[in-house]
């Protein structure tokens, strides 16, 4: 009789464990935390601020870059900012998941369709920073890159 109880108990434990693991996997695969802003990926061009992508000065040493990522480019491309600038990137994807990685910095973000990604970086050192997509996004993935020039 004891054996049956233990069998039932361990089976129950296994079930609970599987449910928890399953839920965690599910939650992780569901992507970003729910506090991330959403956007209709079909209507990026009509949705502010993405109806007007570009770079805008918002303070003495502060810039805002509204950027769309799409196969296989970054809009705007070839950004230029003065050395010492703090740059606030506001990004979304118009199609599939892309990556936004800036060589020589800690900038590394996933940019997903349907979500708005905000990330801030200060650029102290002058130079040309390579921007790369680091999420496989299709046949032209390797070609998806641009630069940020700090002068
Ligand atoms: Cu975009 Cu890889």
| Cα 137 from Cα 70, distance rounded (Å) | 9
Domain definitions of the chain by residue range: 1-30, 41-150
CA 71 to ligand 1: nearest atom: 1
Ligand 1: lining residues by beta carbon, under 6 Å = 72, 98, 133, 135-137, 141, 144
pLDDT of the residue at 50: 98
CA of 112 to the centre of ligand 1 (A): 11
Buried/exposed 42-60: b ≥16 CB within 10 Å, e otherwise: eebeeeeebeebebeeeee
CA of 133 to the centre of ligand 1 (A): 4
pLDDT of the residue at 5: 87
CA 72 to ligand 1: nearest atom: 1
Alpha helix positions (H), 62-127: none
**Nearest Cα residue to atom 1 of ligand 1:** 98
Pick the CATH number of 41-150 from 3.90.180.10, 2.30.40.10, 2.60.40.420, 3.40.640.10: 2.60.40.420
CA 69 to ligand 1: nearest atom: 1
Question: For the complex shown, is ipTM > 0.90?
Answer: yes
| Cα 35 from Cα 13, distance rounded (Å) | 32
CA 98 to ligand 1: nearest atom: 1
Nearest Cα to 100, choosing from 117, 124, 114?
Answer: 117
Contacts of 40 by beta carbon, 8 Å cutoff, 6+ apart: 47, 114
CA of 143 to the centre of ligand 1 (A): 8
Q: How far is CA 63 from CA 15, 72, 91, in A?
A: 52, 24, 14
pLDDT by position in tens, the chain (length 151): 778 888 888 888 888 888 887 777 766 666 555 667 999 999 999 999 999 999 999 999 999 999 999 999 999 999 999 999 999 999 999 999 999 999 999 999 999 999 999 999 999 999 999 999 999 999 999 999 999 999 9
């Amino acid at each position: 009789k004891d054996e049956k109880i233990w069998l039932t108990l361990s089976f129950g434990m296994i079930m609970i464990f599987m449910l928890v693991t399953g839920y965690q996997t599910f939650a992780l695969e569901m992507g970003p935390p729910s506090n991330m802003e959403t956007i209709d990926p079909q209507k990026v061009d009509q949705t502010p601020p993405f109806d007007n992508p570009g770079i805008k000065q918002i303070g003495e040493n502060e810039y805002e870059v509204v950027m769309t990522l799409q196969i296989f480019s970054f809009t705007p491309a070839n950004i230029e900012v003065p050395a010492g600038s703090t740059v606030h990137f506001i990004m979304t994807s118009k199609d599939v998941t892309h990556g936004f990685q800036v060589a020589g910095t800690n900038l590394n973000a996933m940019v997903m369709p349907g979500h708005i990604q905000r990330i801030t970086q200060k650029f102290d050192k002058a130079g040309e920073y390579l921007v790369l997509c680091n999420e496989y996004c299709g046949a032209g993935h390797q070609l998806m890159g641009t630069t940020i020039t700090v002068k």
